[in-house]
Structure 1
Amino acid sequence: MASTSSAPARYEYEVFLSLDTRHSFTDHLYEALHQAGIRTFRDEDEIRDGQELKPEIERSIIESRASVIVFSENFAVSTWCLDELWLILEQKRKGDHFVLPVFYGVDPSDVRNQRGSFTVESRIGSKWTEDNVNRWKAALREVANLKGMVVSGSETAFIAEIVHKVYHELDLKLLCSPPNLTGIEIRARDINSWLRYEQPGFPVLAICGMGGSGKTTLVKHIYNTNKQHFESSSFLEEIEDKPGVLLGLQKQLLRDVLGTNIVISNVSEGTLQIERAIERKRVLIVVDDIDDSDILSTLFGAKVLDTQSKIIITTRLLNIDTWFESISWRCRVYKLELLNPDESLELLSWHAFGSKIPMEGFEKIAAELAQYCGGNPLALKVLGSSLFVSVENPWTKSNMIEIWRSRMDSLNSLKGDLDAKIQGVLQRSFESLACHSHKELFLHIASFFVGEYAFDVEKILENDYHAKSGIMTLVNRCLVTVSRDFGKLMMHNLLQDLARNIVREESKDPAKRSRVWQCDESYCLLSKGDGSKTIEGLVLDMPKAKQAMTSETFKTSSLVKMKNLKLLQLRDVKLTGSYENFPNLRLLKWHGCNLKTIPPGLLMSSLVALDMRNGDLEKFEPPMVLHSLKVLRLSWSYKLVSIYNLHRLPKLEALDLGSCISLTHVCKTIKDLENLSFLRLSGCTRLWKASSNQKCVNQLKRLKTLCICSGTPKQPLCSLPESLSTLILSSSSFEILPNHIDLRMLQTLYLSWCPNLKSLSCLPITLKGLHVDWCTSLENITFQSARFTLQEFCYEGCFKLFEIEGLFKLVSIAEVDEADLEHMQWIKLYQNHKVDLVGDVITKGRTFNIQMLYEYGIRSTYLQSIEDQSMAQHEYTSSSNFLSLCVPLRPKKNRIQGLSVTILCGSLSSDEDGRIMLPPFAKISNRAKGITWVYNPVVFCLPRVDRDVVWLSYWPIGNLLDVGDIVHVTVFLDERMFIVRECGASLVYMDDGEVEKDEKCAERMKGEEVIGGDLSLFQVTKGAYYLCRRDFYKSETP
């Protein structure tokens, strides 16, 4: 299916909303119209203070296709509202202006007959003439005789009826989207910015997420609210790769884009026509729910397009961008975040109670249900609707609470009581896995490995299920995620329930299933010595087994019948007996193990991973050579003193000894573990004190990851293996990193929670990730190269960090060198003024004296006011967000140094309305040189209703400006909330004798990636640069 619309260009708005007061009903009505994509005028949002209102109101009525008039008790008390009413009806008489009266708390007959507060006779004799009053009376009678709507019942449902009525009457052909779009604005914010600000070079956006995550709802909202900014638009859905279907979609797309039927005889011809159409016009195209790159190729071809059009796709494939990259299209991937706890509770409440918050008495159980849904909008809507509680029947409240509790107990019982609609949506993701081994891998992870290290799972399951490539496939299908911090496998609990339902369908008898994870079932099997060769994996967590006694002991013979058992996970389970007939396991995970040593009879020949954390082991020594063992985890073994004969583990790749506080001896054969790539020694303070142990670690030539955080001394390291790619030193007490550490292959460095760390100098150029969160003494960071290479950089809570080489620097105006201020010396007068800077965690929640921001060679600052406006006068000014200038002839002894830009910004609405703000952008283009810079500052200041903000910036582009060049300056603000009151620009000149001063300024802004330097990393198309280092879709919310 496809949808399209092209609103008449002469209309600025679809609806003019006329009302007398700002109460919750009208606020909700306005938001519902706005969220539905209906452009709505409401004077408090659209008119600046100080303007003549009446001409603006009249213009807005004329430029609207319809008016919705909300009559409330005091409507006729306002002569302003009465004049609005007359103007609206005058417009109705002139043409096809649709008028919808809505009666809120008033009787239409009182309006018609002018009774009560609608009596206007008393106005005669005041400054209003009899003609005015007669005109109002006639208008009230006329509008009351129109077919209107009287507010009754649920306001939410009634508002939805109003929106539907407007849809129908105006024939808008907008996409139907559900009411109560909780959390939609913050998720649409950055996408709206990408659509409206015309950031060059990225024609495609892929919205990715698991089934039911709200991708379609989000993209419909975005389509409705943005299509009017394009010449034409098309929304394609229900896409299938079947004969005739793709050809039909191509025809529909061309009809939407070109406005006429195009005759095409085959798919190849259709692809060519679409390529031409997208290049000729600026169009918005949405392709919903597509998981096949071949279909994309059919629709859009493989030609590199030079286009201002925008294409949005929704998909469950995280790696869909690789197809676009293969044809040299630039594609942004937006991973749709699930709802947070507050948003989840709100959405559930709308569907369960018809209000924003739970009904009294349901608060706790509603929060539990919202938590179970894990932020999945589909689950919240379905479960909420199925448990709807009517406000009009309060006598059912106690019964409904019992029903809610029963439903919650069912969901928590692990019996797989997943709603059929939710399961159907999620099942499609599972069935899309083409490889049987990937399906089995998904079921294994859901049953046993959620929260486990991906590294371990890859080793354990590689031989049976090609786990390394399989996990990648599951991640790309949004079925599994890998946590960025510790590399653990994570899965949404609804997907986990889906997988477990699939396993339960194998048999009603747990003993005949392939996987047993429910502890009560596992307890029964071990207690009875039951089981079968069908079982491949079993979990028993004694604290979770309801029937279990903490002192209970099982015999090792309880596992004899499980001949094919490969995965055994135990916690606080006590076993006695002989281990000679113990299953030949791939994984033995036995937390809280009661053994003091490894029993010699334990069959370990096939063991790939041994995890005996938090147990009673006092000595670890492999009883034999174990050629299969690759992972050994003994962390939190407080009684462990010594480890012997590690040479018997020739294939060992990961050794975890974290927090083994009594460990004093590890045999020197550790240095002979040629395959060891991961070593954790954090908290092993006794072990690390011996320099001989440090030397053994240094001899591990293939070691990639080393963790020695928590308790390391101030000078912790003698030397480390050059092979290291990840070094974890968090929670350590040193003040600086030793200079002699030369790690040429280091890519990730963790230094979080190091309170004494003051400086980081000359970090290696290979570094891709740096974590220094809550290093409260850290002041500056420098690198071996001036080029900033970090791809992941976390520095929350670094209250003293104001300089990051190659990234940005913040300096108080009081401390800025006068040479850097150039012609803006007057700013020093404001050096003690305060500003609230937002946009980055480094300034979040803090107030500063006015700061100078150095970034990309650009210098900028923010002021909350300028008392003497003459100080900020410019050669070129504009009362809009755009100005143009032509570079003039200059005196012979002067040369152009750069461009100074000043922006005066104001607010259109209060901060209390809760809407999400888009960050500011500045765009400077030199058409003659074919160069464009789009700059998004890392921190910025926002205006308020009672306070404008001045944004001053200096761009050192003098060497790129010649006489006669036409320069365009454009500033983008969130047009819903802010307005550019004035824009000014001046060319800054410098005498030839001041070259030395200019060079000193450049030295203070050192770095390769500055204007005039190498900006290739930020180039999006030829000559166009997007100056923003952070991932825009993860920027801090103002």
Structure 2
Amino acid sequence: MASTSSQTLPSSWDVFLSFRGIDTRYSFTSHLYSALDRHNIPTYRDDPELRCGEVISDALLKAIQESKIYVVVLSQNYASSSWCLDELVEILNCNKAMQRSVIPVFYNIDPSVVRYQKGAFEQDFKRHEIKFTGEMERVENWRLALKQVANNSGKHVDGKTSEADVVNEIVDEILLQIQSIALDVARYPVGLDSRLKDLTALLSRGTKDVIMIGIYGMGGIGKTTLAKALFNKLLPGSFKGSCFLANVREILGNSKGLESLQQQLVHDVLRIKNRVEVNSVDQGIKLIDQKICSTKILVVIDDLEDHQEFKSLVRSFAPGSVVIITTRDEEILDKIEVETQNRYKVNVLGDAESETLFFQHAFGDAQPNITLKILSKDILRVAGGLPLALEVFGSSLYKKSEVRWKSYIETLQRSPNSRIQQKLIISLEALESDDPLLKKMFLDIACLFIGWNKGKVVEILDTYYSYADDKIDILKKRCLLTINNRDELRMHDLLQDMGKEITHNNSPDEPGKHSRLWVPKEICSVLKEHKVNIQEWFRSI
């Protein structure tokens, strides 16, 4: 970008550079600006020598106020410019009012010269006091600003230091600060703090190696939300780069999906201006190994479904790096060797949290009347503590009449919300692609065996499946099934409803053609009317 008065202003800048052009325009400041630009860091570079007048413009004031970080290059002739001094006053005002960061660079000058206005600075102020006789308050503000900025710890460039090293230090410091811009987590983060505390505890043991954290659970349970919250919490740390790879399963379904993820990883970690093209997976692996494996980074792989793709993204990162994986399938965590103590299963919300989250989406800040409170119990029962369901149901009923509520509940009890179904059915499709028998067993359990003792179910299903016990463990690892402390099979109501609906939809008006029967009335009807060969479907009663 040009350092002229015609410089186009975006809505905000990451960095504002304040410097004296005659001292550093073609040396240190030029090198620093180029380095920031290479890392795709929006930087405003002002050069007072190319401006007219004695007072800084409104556009420049706006650029200062909208910048996040200020780099002030203090050099021999800095104090000779009233423009530079006015900039500095405004920079320090923003630093005080908005806690913005200021990085002073003492370029071939001792901080004491700046602090006490000695040497060349003393001569400059003698001239200012003559020129601005009627504006002594302005001159005094300049003195105070120089004293304040010189009291900050900064970078030093002199004959004993490498300018390139100082430039790299500044860029690294800026990258650490701008990376801490938080991801949007959740409109109503109910129950998030306690879960985040549990997750953070997994990291507290400390290790010099790469730490891998696995977050797993059924669809819609809040894995991505939790991963975003952890990402935000860790980001202000000492990582040199970060990347949140969202919707990995979906992206991998696209042509060149893995290559695009490799490309995003390199681009986000390095923050390079020009996106590197990755034309093959092997090229992407080589690029990751060469460019970022020596860097301590924070990476999230969200919604991982295939461990092979993981190996093409997560390489031998530098010690201290953190990799967070979210998945529906705990077996994935086995295959990529996430330690058991570094795994976190996201469970459904408790009754109180469920009610709070639902009420916030359904009523906002308002209080529901007694009728809606009673109706809410039916909704909460269907949602079963699933955050996605609570969000969808609540948002659908926001500011709706009691009549609409009752109608919605009736519809919901007949058929779960399509958006939630779409989220849950992904897990079922994955079962079928891995082993069609797994899907059949899921449907058997959903329709017939919820609440049964696991041993009894295994005994029955071993008649129809090989290694039924192992298959039940797979369903459990994929968060499609749970086993309580009495060894009984349990399943989220929405998953169970989905399984029954899939079975029912095969032939909705002819129970005799269903692969499984569980409704007593339908069983009696089929038996009485001999609508099916009993031997073909006896196992499904």
TM bucket, shorter chain: 0.5 to 0.7
Q: Pairwise mapping of residues 32-51 of structure 1 onto structure 2 (< 5 A)? A: none
User: Is the contact made by 1:278 and 1:309 (CA closer than 8 Å) also made in structure 2?
Assistant: no
2:235 aligned with 1:235: no
Instruction: Tell me which amino acid in the other structure corresponds to 2:224.
Output: T
Following the alignment from structure 1 to structure 2, what is the Cα–Cα distance between the partners of residues 283 and 359?
Answer: 50
2:360 to 336, 350, 366: 350
2:225 aligned with 1:225: no
Following the alignment from structure 1 to structure 2, what is the Cα–Cα distance between the partners of residues 307 and 171?
Answer: 19
Q: Pairwise mapping of residues 69-468 of structure 1 onto structure 2 (< 5 A)? A: 94=93, 174-195=182-203, 198-199=206-207, 201=209, 203-229=211-237, 230-239=239-248, 240=252, 242-260=254-272, 261-262=275-276, 266-275=280-289, 279-301=293-315, 307-325=319-337, 332-355=342-365, 358-389=368-399, 400-412=401-413, 415=414, 417-433=415-431, 434=433, 435-466=435-466, 467-468=468-469
With over 3 angstroms needed to count, the CA separation of the structure-2 counterparts of 1:264 and 1:196, relative to structure 1, is farther
Task: Tell me the secondary structure at the aligned position of residue 313 of structure 2.
Answer: helix
Pairwise CA distance, 1:177: 2.9
TM-score (norm 1): 0.34
Please list every run of 5 or more consecutive structure 1 residues that lacks an aligned counterpart in the other structure: 1-5, 11-61, 67-89, 100-130, 132-169, 391-399, 534-560, 570-1038
Following the alignment from structure 2 to structure 1, what is the Cα–Cα distance between the partners of residues 353 and 228?
Answer: 19
Task: Tell me the secondary structure at the aligned position of residue 184 of structure 2.
Answer: coil
Q: Pairwise mapping of residues 457-536 of structure 1 onto structure 2 (< 5 A)? A: 457-466=457-466, 467-483=468-484, 485-507=485-507, 508-525=509-526, 529-533=528-532
2:538 to 539, 555, 566: 566
Pairwise CA distance, 1:228: 1.8
User: Is the contact made by 2:210 and 2:321 (CA closer than 8 Å) also made in structure 1?
Assistant: no
Task: Tell me the secondary structure at the aligned position of residue 355 of structure 1.
Answer: coil
Task: Tell me the secondary structure at the aligned position of residue 464 of structure 1.
Answer: coil
Following the alignment from structure 1 to structure 2, what is the Cα–Cα distance between the partners of residues 329 and 284?
Answer: 18
User: Is the contact made by 2:221 and 2:386 (CA closer than 8 Å) also made in structure 1?
Assistant: yes
User: Is the contact made by 1:438 and 1:465 (CA closer than 8 Å) also made in structure 2?
Assistant: no
TM-score (norm 2): 0.62
User: Is the contact made by 1:250 and 1:274 (CA closer than 8 Å) also made in structure 2?
Assistant: yes
Following the alignment from structure 1 to structure 2, what is the Cα–Cα distance between the partners of residues 8 and 463?
Answer: 69
Query: What is the percent sequence identity of the aligned residues?
Result: 30
User: Is the contact made by 1:378 and 1:422 (CA closer than 8 Å) also made in structure 2?
Assistant: yes
Q: Pairwise mapping of residues 762-777 of structure 1 onto structure 2 (< 5 A)? A: none
Pairwise CA distance, 1:65: 5.0
Which structure is larger by alpha-carbon Rg, 1 or 2? 1
With over 3 angstroms needed to count, the CA separation of the structure-2 counterparts of 1:171 and 1:314, relative to structure 1, is closer
Following the alignment from structure 1 to structure 2, what is the Cα–Cα distance between the partners of residues 497 and 370?
Answer: 15
Task: Tell me the secondary structure at the aligned position of residue 362 of structure 1.
Answer: helix
User: Is the contact made by 2:180 and 2:236 (CA closer than 8 Å) also made in structure 1?
Assistant: no
Pairwise CA distance, 1:175: 2.7
Instruction: Tell me which amino acid in the other structure corresponds to 2:469.
Output: K
With over 3 angstroms needed to count, the CA separation of the structure-2 counterparts of 1:449 and 1:329, relative to structure 1, is closer
Following the alignment from structure 1 to structure 2, what is the Cα–Cα distance between the partners of residues 202 and 451?
Answer: 42
Following the alignment from structure 1 to structure 2, what is the Cα–Cα distance between the partners of residues 98 and 403?
Answer: 49
Following the alignment from structure 1 to structure 2, what is the Cα–Cα distance between the partners of residues 386 and 209?
Answer: 25
With over 3 angstroms needed to count, the CA separation of the structure-2 counterparts of 1:268 and 1:357, relative to structure 1, is farther
With over 3 angstroms needed to count, the CA separation of the structure-2 counterparts of 1:568 and 1:291, relative to structure 1, is closer
User: Is the contact made by 1:279 and 1:307 (CA closer than 8 Å) also made in structure 2?
Assistant: no
Q: Pairwise mapping of residues 825-864 of structure 1 onto structure 2 (< 5 A)? A: none
Following the alignment from structure 2 to structure 1, what is the Cα–Cα distance between the partners of residues 486 and 535?
Answer: 34
User: Is the contact made by 1:372 and 1:493 (CA closer than 8 Å) also made in structure 2?
Assistant: yes
Please list every run of 5 or more consecutive structure 2 residues that lacks an aligned counterpart in the other structure: 1-12, 18-64, 70-88, 99-136, 138-177
Pairwise CA distance, 1:92: 6.7
User: Is the contact made by 1:345 and 1:357 (CA closer than 8 Å) also made in structure 2?
Assistant: no
Pairwise CA distance, 1:95: 5.2
Following the alignment from structure 2 to structure 1, what is the Cα–Cα distance between the partners of residues 341 and 263?
Answer: 25
Pairwise CA distance, 1:388: 1.4
Over residues 98-126 of structure 1, what are the superposed CA-to-partner deviations in whole Å (9 max), with x where a residue is unaligned?
Answer: 87xxxxxxxxxxxxxxxxxxxxxxxxxxx
User: Is the contact made by 2:516 and 2:537 (CA closer than 8 Å) also made in structure 1?
Assistant: no
Instruction: Tell me which amino acid in the other structure corresponds to 2:437.
Output: S
Structure with bigger helix share is 2
With over 3 angstroms needed to count, the CA separation of the structure-2 counterparts of 1:463 and 1:175, relative to structure 1, is same
Structure with bigger strand share is 1
With over 3 angstroms needed to count, the CA separation of the structure-2 counterparts of 1:568 and 1:457, relative to structure 1, is same
Instruction: Tell me which amino acid in the other structure corresponds to 2:482.
Output: T
With over 3 angstroms needed to count, the CA separation of the structure-2 counterparts of 1:227 and 1:195, relative to structure 1, is farther
Following the alignment from structure 2 to structure 1, what is the Cα–Cα distance between the partners of residues 292 and 203?
Answer: 15
Following the alignment from structure 1 to structure 2, what is the Cα–Cα distance between the partners of residues 531 and 334?
Answer: 50
Following the alignment from structure 2 to structure 1, what is the Cα–Cα distance between the partners of residues 524 and 228?
Answer: 49
Instruction: Tell me which amino acid in the other structure corresponds to 1:428.
Output: I
Aligned equivalent of 1:898: none
Following the alignment from structure 2 to structure 1, what is the Cα–Cα distance between the partners of residues 291 and 186?
Answer: 32
Task: Tell me the secondary structure at the aligned position of residue 516 of structure 1.
Answer: coil
Structure of greater relative contact order (alpha carbons < 8 Å, 6+ residues apart): 2
With over 3 angstroms needed to count, the CA separation of the structure-2 counterparts of 1:254 and 1:468, relative to structure 1, is same
Instruction: Tell me which amino acid in the other structure corresponds to 2:188.
Output: N
User: Is the contact made by 2:515 and 2:537 (CA closer than 8 Å) also made in structure 1?
Assistant: no
Following the alignment from structure 1 to structure 2, what is the Cα–Cα distance between the partners of residues 293 and 567?
Answer: 36
Following the alignment from structure 2 to structure 1, what is the Cα–Cα distance between the partners of residues 512 and 277?
Answer: 62
User: Is the contact made by 1:504 and 1:513 (CA closer than 8 Å) also made in structure 2?
Assistant: yes
Following the alignment from structure 2 to structure 1, what is the Cα–Cα distance between the partners of residues 319 and 210?
Answer: 10
Following the alignment from structure 2 to structure 1, what is the Cα–Cα distance between the partners of residues 193 and 15?
Answer: 26
With over 3 angstroms needed to count, the CA separation of the structure-2 counterparts of 1:520 and 1:432, relative to structure 1, is same
User: Is the contact made by 1:254 and 1:277 (CA closer than 8 Å) also made in structure 2?
Assistant: yes
User: Is the contact made by 1:206 and 1:331 (CA closer than 8 Å) also made in structure 2?
Assistant: no
Pairwise CA distance, 1:482: 2.2
CA RMSD in angstroms comes to 3.5
Over residues 300-342 of structure 1, what are the superposed CA-to-partner deviations in whole Å (9 max), with x where a residue is unaligned?
Answer: 24x5x561000001100112222223xx978721101111111
Aligned equivalent of 2:128: none
Instruction: Tell me which amino acid in the other structure corresponds to 2:409.
Output: M
Following the alignment from structure 2 to structure 1, what is the Cα–Cα distance between the partners of residues 421 and 540?
Answer: 29
Pairwise CA distance, 1:262: 4.8
With over 3 angstroms needed to count, the CA separation of the structure-2 counterparts of 1:7 and 1:322, relative to structure 1, is farther
With over 3 angstroms needed to count, the CA separation of the structure-2 counterparts of 1:532 and 1:96, relative to structure 1, is farther
